[in-house]
Amino acid sequence: MSKITIPVRKFDAVIVGAGGAGLRAAIQLSEAGLKTAVLSKVFPTRSHTVAAQGGVSASLGNSEEDHWHWHMYDTVKGSDWLGDQDAIEYMCRKAPEAVVELEHFGMPFDRTDEGKIYQRPFGGHMSNFGEKPVRRACAAADRTGHAMLHALYQRNVRANTQFFVEWMALDLIRDAEGQVLGVIALEMETGDVVAFHAKATIFATGGAGRIYYSSTNAFINTGDGLGMAARAGIALEDMEFWQFHPTGVAGAGVLITEGVRGEGGILRNSDNERFMERYAPNAKDLASRDVVSRAMVTEINEGRGCGPHKDFVLLDITHLDPATIMKRLPGIREISIQFAGIDPIKAPIPVVPTCHYQMGGIPTNYHGQAVNPDGSTIKGFYAAGECACASVHGANRLGTNSLLDLLVFGKSSGDSVIEAINADPKGLKELPADFADRTLARLNRLNTQKGGASVNETRLEMQRTMQKHCGVFRFKDMLVEGVSKICDIEKAVHLTEIGDKSQTWNTARVEALELDNLIEVAKSTMVSAEARKESRGAHVRDDAPDTAANPNGRDDEVWLKHSLWHREGNRLSYKPVNLKPLSVETIALKTRAY
Amino acid sequence: MEAGAELNRLRWRCTRRAMLEMDILLGSFLDKHYAGLTPEQAAVFVALADMEDLELWPLITGKRECENSLQAEVVAMLRNVKVK
């Protein structure tokens, strides 16, 4: 019983998000001649992909011997065996092709003296099944993400992709059979609400790191795709797994790339000790991110932190040749000067572990198709990049695998859409009569709310709760209390009030709508984390310690499974991890040690 | 466009950027200094906010020279924003 109608625009495919994954998917679709709309809250080259500084992993073997199978082994091990081995094999095998393709799109990679793509070492990437660090990260100085985004955007311009810039998608449209038929979106400039009716919808909305108080994520990362999926009844997978980057600038959250340690940076405590030698005797400062984060927090907790409050450690590159710093890490020097007030050529940078990347997300297979809990596909719906969970990162992502993820699954989701559209020439399925009701009711509630909560204060309360109750180290009682707190905060989110009711550029409304999405991510994270009574990868609980029976606190007997959080009923279900690769033997479970 | 809407658009473009660094820097500047700028300085700031982060950053860090003295004046103010 729809009362109000909204304008409807028809496309073959609509992509939400114009970062690396969205742009890579759009190239496939537009070059195949499909009428493709890409919606983005910002101009495409302002997407957060720009912030990926360090590189994109591929076993090109340009500097030393390498193999995709070694890359696969590292990724499975990095994931603490929670990653699906079919998807991981697919991604690692496709990596060299994805990088070469990008080069053909005009990506200006750095070169070796022989003219090959320059590759640097990166945490967790090893040769010969974990033997010693290997140079696998293909880089364009410390601007890899920026250069990638520009190359992909230019290719889209050539392919006539249609961009809708400064539009925010609000909700998925699903029919009674569960098929996805597009999205409803808001144009910020006019306040118009429009339906994008499409045969296929790809979400490439990126991460949701703004659920945390201390985060390296730009303000744009509000988990819009996850909020929309959750409201449409789609379960979210493995949301308890958030990677904390070991080296955020203390106080600001601004990221210092792992490439700094790849180029020889050393972590030191207040005794000036290179403490990673004790925690990871082989990989040392290049151990996997969660191993490094845990070591840093342990140093701080045991009183060996630096500064007046002993609440950070130091990242030291003062021993490097200033010419190397200027050549390989110019951006890092500038960031350190602006946000820490320190020139890293002269003094070490104060750093702390900071929320950085979301491993979980919308469940997909390696074709980029969104899947139901039973593994069947959700017709018309696809996801790629950080908002998706294929799952290649499992419980912990390796550095440089994120740019690879968005290239490989951006492309595979695009290819899946083309295949689906070619196989079903019937065209667009009709929209249900009430398709816009829920969205319009939400907007109307916001416009008429009286005596409600402030958006800024409610968001801050959520961020502080997540940081305190569900941070890099987790404690049983804090998690239990956290679930109840976040449910209380959710009630305030549903009663937010905005002063500005105007149509044109009403950013207060947009921020309230972003908070609607953030709270779904926060809830799913807290509930999934409270329930998982083990330590695995980035999810580390003090009541699941390292024991002989469960090394590192990992309990494969009970917990070798993916979490699925359902918004309806705020409940969890689980599904098995796929341990069967596509062509090689299973990478057998073993204790993760570096 | 009304003044309020125009300021909101500028706020969006200052605080929904590619990099957290620039969200913090431009957002802090908008809150603390924008209202006190001369119309000429304000126009320069709007143009700076329209630049991409990795184009603007070299200006702020002094790696690239500013186009003119007015731009240099606003960039100097941006550089000195207290972000903490």
Note the CATH architecture for domain B3-79. Answer: Orthogonal Bundle (1.10)
Judge residue A538's burial from the number of C-beta atoms within 10 Å of its C-beta, 0-12 exposed, 13-18 middle, 19 or more buried. Answer: buried
Whether the Cβ atoms of residue B57 and residue B76 lie closer than 8 Å to each other: no
Tokens linked to A369:
């198709």
pLDDT on residue A3: 57
- How is A240-264 classified by DSSP, letter by letter? T-EEEEEEEETTT--B--THHHHTT
**In chain A, which stretches have pLDDT less than 50?**
1-2
Any A CB within 8 A of B16 CB: yes
Any B CB within 8 A of A216 CB: yes
Those residues with Cβ within 8 angstroms of residue A138's Cβ, 6 or more apart along the chain or in another chain: A55, A56, A57, A58, A60, A99, A109, A117, A118, A119, A144
Whether the Cβ atoms of residue A407 and residue A20 lie closer than 8 Å to each other: yes
Chain B partners within 8 Å of A500 (Cβ): 4, 8
Any B CB within 8 A of A474 CB: no
Any A CB within 8 A of B1 CB: yes
* Alpha-carbon distance B55 to nearest alpha carbon in chain A (angstroms): 11
Entry pTM: 0.93
d(CA A254, CA A252): 5
Cβ within 8 Å, pair B84-A47: no
Q: Is the pLDDT of residue B16 over 80?
A: yes
Cβ within 8 Å, pair B61-A146: no
- How is A325-342 classified by DSSP, letter by letter? HHHH-HHHHHHIIIIIS-
- Domain extent listing, chain B: 3-79
Any B CB within 8 A of A51 CB: yes
Q: Is the pLDDT of residue B84 over 60?
A: no
Those residues with Cβ within 8 angstroms of residue A444's Cβ, 6 or more apart along the chain or in another chain: none
SS3 A73: helix
CB pairs under 8 A between A and B: 95
Q: Which residue of B has its CA nearest to A40?
A: B16
Residues 531-550 of A with CB under 8 A from B: none
Percentage of chain A with pLDDT > 90?
86
pLDDT on residue A131: 94
**Which residues of A does the annotation mark as catalytic?**
289
Any A CB within 8 A of B61 CB: yes
Mean of pLDDT over chain A: 95
Q: Which position has the token pair 């076993």?
A: A59
pLDDT on residue A1: 44
Write down the ipTM of this complex: 0.96
Tokens linked to A190:
């006019």
- How is A570-593 classified by DSSP, letter by letter? TEEEEEE-----SSS---------
For residue A305, which of A333, A336, A346, A267 has the smallest C-alpha distance?
A267
Whether the Cβ atoms of residue A187 and residue A195 lie closer than 8 Å to each other: no
Any A CB within 8 A of B50 CB: no
* Alpha-carbon distance A189 to nearest alpha carbon in chain B (angstroms): 8
Closest CB from A334, A335, A505 relative to B5: A505
pLDDT on residue A554: 98
Q: Which residue of B has its CA nearest to A335?
A: B21
Q: Angle between the A507-531 and A437-448 helix axes, to the nearest 10 degrees? A: 110
Q: How many CA atoms lie within 13 A of A171 on its CB side?
A: 19
* Alpha-carbon distance B6 to nearest alpha carbon in chain A (angstroms): 8
- Residue B82: pLDDT band (50, 70, 90) is confident
Residue of B19, B24, B77, B80 to mutate, interface with A, max A Cβ within 10 Å? B19
